Structure formats: C-alpha cells, structure tokens
Structure 1
Amino acid sequence: MVENGQGPQQQAVSGREPVFLLPGAVTAVAALFVVIHLASTLVLNPEGQVEFLFWFAFQPLRIVAAPQDPSLAIPLIWTPFTHAFLHGGWEHLLVNTAWFAIFATPVARRYGTGPMLAIFLVSAAAGAALFAATTLLTGAYLVGASGGVAGLTGAAVRFIFQPVVVANHPETGERVVLGRHLARPIDLWRDPRPRFFILIWVLLNAAVPLLPLLTGSMLSVAWQAHLGGFAAGLLMVGLFERPRRQ
C-alpha cells in the first residue's frame, strides 16, 4: 500500500512514517464524532441541547404519537441514522470512537469507504429498530455510535479470524499474500475462535437488562442497539464481497 503519495523507497529516504495509520474515512468519521460533541456541549445552551436531541436523537415514542400529530414523525426519516453521531458524554464518546477505529479500519481497508459507511449507517438503523421494539412506550431516546459500530464488529468477525491465504506468483514464484476469505455464517459457528467471540459478545449484551436484578441499579447501555447492529453487519457484509483476482 502506498500512503501519502510515497512508496516504500521514498519513505525510507525521507525517514518519515505516516502520522495516522487509520484510513482517511475512519479518521474523518471519528473527527466528526468529536466535532459534533464539542459543538453540542460548548456552543449550545441547555435549551439548545434539548432542541438538538429533539431533532436528531432517535425517539421511538414518536411512532406512537404520530397518529395524533403527524409532524412528530418527520424526524423518524433521519434520526435512525443521525443518533449515531450524538453522544451522552465524553466517556461515551471516547469509548465509541475507539471501538469505531478498531473495527471500522479493517472493514474500510477491505471494502473501501462507501461499504464501510453503508454498514455503519444500516447497522445504526437496525439497532434503532430493535431499540424501538423494546422501548416503544417508555419515552427513552437513543444516542451513540454503538449500534453502527456493532455492525462493523459483526462485519469484521466474518474475516478477521480467517487464516491468511498465501500463494505462489505464477511468473516469479514469489510468495504473495492474497488476503483472508469471508467466512459464511455457518463457518463462524464451526470455528471456535469467532464462535467464542460472538457468544461472549452476545451474552454480555443480553445480560444488561438482567443487571438490575443483581445490582439494584440500571445500566444505561443500549444493548438492543448493539444486538440489532451486530446482526445487521454480520449478515450484510457479504453484499460487498467481490471475487478476488487469483
């Protein structure tokens, strides 16, 4: 791979290494998370922050209120996606940004910017749909990138545990790395490494609603968005797989 317009020999001569090892699109989205949070916390007053959440956070109660006032349902057009760029605090932002960088990077490098963003946004919407199905009448609202990032996690699980395929170049005989295969969903269950990862990940999120029974306090984690987003990314990543040149 050539980065910043410099090949390996040019980098050796200049003695410089790329400052950011993340793909440009991943860095840009992570920066957007930070900019939006800075603007919402440092620029907006409390009333403005309430309005900001009203228009861009995902609120399932709008679905119920729509028959009485259809205008309340209009934000449902964009909020299943825009909620993924809002965060409830700096800790929430930092965790989601780090998680995004870790799993968006292999997906972006394998498929490119467009597919990575498509998986992120569709998974965010899938997470919002499952969140709505379980909180419809509670008045809760959803913010955070975790549903979309869970989708990128599910997409990455399809290939990061697969062995690297190496072959001989037909003309030079040199050993060439071809990459990793995309595992079928059934193969993930047969392979103990992705199976263990998926089981632990699903069980941890599924246990969140049971924690109040043990601790007596609620944990403000949108486990529904995590599960819905993960399933979406795991299933849809195959749409972007293309036959690789041998």
Structure 2
Amino acid sequence: MFPIRDHNPSTRIPYVTYLLIAINVAVFAWQYGALQDVRASNQFLYDYAFWPILFANGEGFTGFFTHMFLHGGFMHLAGNMLFLWIFGDNMEDEMGHIPFAIFYVLSGFAAAYIQYLPDTLSQIPMVGASGAIAGVMGGYLLLFPKAKVDIFLFFIIFFRIFPIPSFIVLGVWMALQVFNGLGSDLNGGGTAYWAHVGGFIAGFLMTIPLWLRRGAAAYWDRTDGHPPHPETRYPTSNVPLIRRRK
C-alpha cells in the first residue's frame, strides 16, 4: 500500500519542487552512470554522504548537506521523488518558493542530526532525501489533514486505487517509522528510520507559524481540514479484480 497522488492541486508552478527532483535525478545519474570505477564511486560516497563518526570528530560537514541528494538505488530514488512530487508542490504553494527551499533543507538537517544522536560514532553512511521529504509530509499533515490521497493497494490478486484522508496515510507512515526505528535499534538495519521521524517532527513544528497565521484551529474549521480550494477529481479506478478460474 503506497500513495500515488493527492487531490490537492497547487495554484502556481512549484519550481523548487521540480528543481529538487531534477537535482536528485541528475546526481543519481552521475553517481551510477559516470562513476563506473568502484574506487571513484566509493570516494564519491565518502565525500558526500553523511558519516556520523566524521561529524562527531568535527569533519564531514559537507555531507550533512549533500547526503540529501544521494540515493542508494533506483527504487530508493523513485520512492523519494514520488513522495516529494505528491506533497511538495502544496507546501511550496503555501510557503512560497524561497521559504519552502529553506524549509526543505532545514528538515534535512534536522533529520540527519536526529539520526546521528543515538549513535554518534556510527560508521554507516546516511544518504537520501527521505528525511527532508519527511519534513514536507509533517507540514502537509498540519495544513491539510483531510486532503484526499490516492492509495494503490495490492494484496496477492487484489489491487485497487482509492482515496483516504492524508492524516491516515501520514499518521500510519509516521507510526511505522517509530515502530521500525525501535526495532532497528535492537536488530540493526539499513534504513534511517530516526531521520524520518526527526524530519517529520521538524517539518510539523516549522509549519506551525504558517498554520497560526492562517488562523490555527479556525483555519481547520473553515476548511474542515481540506485544501482551501476545490480538490482535483479523478475518474474512478477501472483496475480490474482478477479472480482465479475454477
């Protein structure tokens, strides 16, 4: 089960969101295309990933920023860019281009720092935009808790697309990050769950001033938690239900 789109159109072109997606794709193409040599690829990772142990020793400050433009594989990149495309345009629409860019980077910083704190001497590099994108999702939850998000559900031979409120999508996602983060502390793992948690909370908190300017709870009362403009209507999914032949 994963989101594929929302019903919340933006009222202006999200230049920053498009630029962030383009940069991430370009860096990925460079990392896995131009750097064919293993040594060069490893050096690239050493120079631009976020290494907690280097950061603890007063080094690796470049990676604190650049890690959010690196990815560990195509599916890692594709998943992150999908989430940024779904939720980023609306946050940019509400904040403005430059404030959104600053918000995005600060969310990435918060995500990396929260991931760093539990094990400051970790030698596992951190890469990916998911911490910064988690901040976008946290802000989206505060501003549009009932915006419709289309979910693609696949279960063995059953698959459907159907809309559910964003507070369910994002709330369940956040709960899974906490649950998996607690498990990873005990069993290890390759996903930076606490970066997701840290970025999400940071994005939520940084959006509070905007929410207050909109009227806080009164804003929710006016919109009932939905976007303050007409929602996009998509045609009902015609994906068939495949049944086994008897």
Same fold per TM (> 0.5)?
yes
The one-letter amino acid paired with 1:61 is I
Is 1:29 the counterpart of 2:1 in the alignment?
no
Find the partner of 1:126 among 86, 107, 110.
Answer: 110
The share of aligned pairs that are identical, in percent, is 27
Q: CA deviation at 1:118?
A: 1.3
Find the partner of 1:206 among 178, 183, 192.
Answer: 178
Is 1:238 the counterpart of 2:208 in the alignment?
yes
Q: Which has the higher helix share?
A: 1
Instruction: Name the TM-score, length of structure 2 as normaliser.
Output: 0.67
Per-residue Cα deviation, 1:168-207 (whole angstroms, up to 9, x for no partner)? xxxxxxxxxxxxxxxxxxxxxxxxx676555423320012
Instruction: Name the TM-score, length of structure 1 as normaliser.
Output: 0.67
The one-letter amino acid paired with 2:172 is I
Per-residue Cα deviation, 1:64-88 (whole angstroms, up to 9, x for no partner)? 434xxxxxx1x31x32221110000
Matches within 5 A, 1:1-246: 23-44=14-35, 45-66=37-58, 73=59, 75-76=60-61, 78-161=62-145, 196-197=168-169, 199-209=171-181, 211=183, 219-240=189-210, 243=213
How many equivalent pairs are there? 185
State how far apart, in whole Å, the 1-side matches of 2:52 and 2:117 are: 8
The one-letter amino acid paired with 1:121 is V
State how far apart, in whole Å, the 1-side matches of 2:167 and 2:31 are: 40
Q: Which has the higher strand share?
A: 2
Determine which structure has greater relative contact order: mean sequence separation of CA pairs < 8 Å that are 6+ residues apart, divided by chain length: 2
Q: CA deviation at 1:237?
A: 1.6
CA RMSD of aligned residues (A): 2.7
State how far apart, in whole Å, the 1-side matches of 2:112 and 2:82 are: 21
Stretches of structure 1 lacking an aligned partner (at least 5 in a row): 1-20, 67-72, 164-192
**Which runs of at least 4 in structure 1 moved beyond 3 Å after TM superposition?**
63-66, 193-199, 209-213, 216-219, 238-244
Q: 1:64 to 1:118 in 2, by over 3 A?
A: closer
Per-residue Cα deviation, 1:89-114 (whole angstroms, up to 9, x for no partner)? 00100000101111111101111111
